[in-house]
Each structure stands twice: as structure tokens, then as C-alpha cells.
Amino acid sequence: MTMTRLAIGAYGERCAVRHLVEAGLRVAARNWRCDHGEVDIIAWEGDVLAFCEVKTRRGGAYGFPGEAVGPAKVRRLRRLALRWLQESGAHPREIRFDVLEVYVARTGGALVEHIRSAF
């Protein structure tokens, strides 16, 4: 992955965290990793725990960012969520899986679309 793509991805994750915090969510973890993969953001909304995947795009050439979350990614995120819950000891009332689509403009700030319970 090129440095530019890494920088854009990191920028998108910062924008997503800012969006979540401004919406009243409490971030529990960022870029949580284990031997099976990574969860971009884990955040509490009240007693509901959201496992969030962030997808960032600079243009529309590749479709909507959330379309990049395919069946394999969904399965991986569900496995990672179970692992995080086991390791953290957290007992949320409910869990959900969100996708945050970040659109980076050539000028100005980014636009963040938060899709709750995306899958």
C-alpha cells in the first residue's frame, strides 16, 4: 500500500472518530488488532457497542466506500468482535456493526456518512 493511501486511510479514520465523538459515542478502542485482523473503531453508544469499519475514498471511481465491505470482511469483523468481547470482558446490552464512509474532498473538509447496523 502506498504512503498516500495509508495517509488517506489514517485521515479518514481521524475524521470518523471525530464524527462519532461529536455524535455522542465514546470510543473504546482504535485500530484494535489481534492475530485474525483489525477493527478500525470500537465505540459505545449508551450500552450498545458498535464495531466500526471505516472506508475512505477520494472520488467515486470505485463506487460507494461501504460497498468495499464484502462477505469475507463481514465474517472477519464478526469473528474479531467475538474475540474483543472475550478479551475485554465487556457485556454490552447489544452489539452492532457500523460502516463509516468518508469522502475526502479536494478542498475543504471530509464528508462522513455513518451507516448504523450496516450488517
* CATH classification of the domain holding 48: 3.40.1350.10
User: What pTM, to 2 d.p., does this model score?
Assistant: 0.91
Categorize the per-residue pLDDT at 18 as very low, low, confident or very high, splitting at 50, 70 and 90: very high
C-alpha cell at 98: 457500523
- Determine the Cα angle at 55 with ends 10 and 11, to 5°: 20
Contact status, residue 99 vs residue 118, Cβ threshold 8 Å = yes
Question: What does the chain come to in residues?
Answer: 119
36 or 64, which is more confident: 36
Q: For residue 113, how far is the Cα from the chain centroid?
A: 11
DSSP state string for 1-52: --HHHHHHHHHHHHHHHHHHHHTT-EEEEEEEEETTEEEEEEEEETTEEEEE
Domain coverage including residue 34: 3-115
| Number of other residues whose CB lies within 10 A of the CB of residue 29 | 14
The pLDDT tens digits for 31-60 are 999 999 999 999 999 999 999 999 998 876
Q: In this prediction, what percent of the chain has a pLDDT beyond 90?
A: 78
C-alpha cell at 89: 470482558
- Mean pLDDT of the 63-73 span: 86
Q: What is the predicted pLDDT for the residue at 3?
A: 66
80 or 107, which is more confident: 80
Q: Provide the terminal-to-terminal Cα distance of the chain, rounded to the nearest Å.
A: 27
Total number of domains constituting the chain: 1
- Mean pLDDT of the 10-19 span: 97
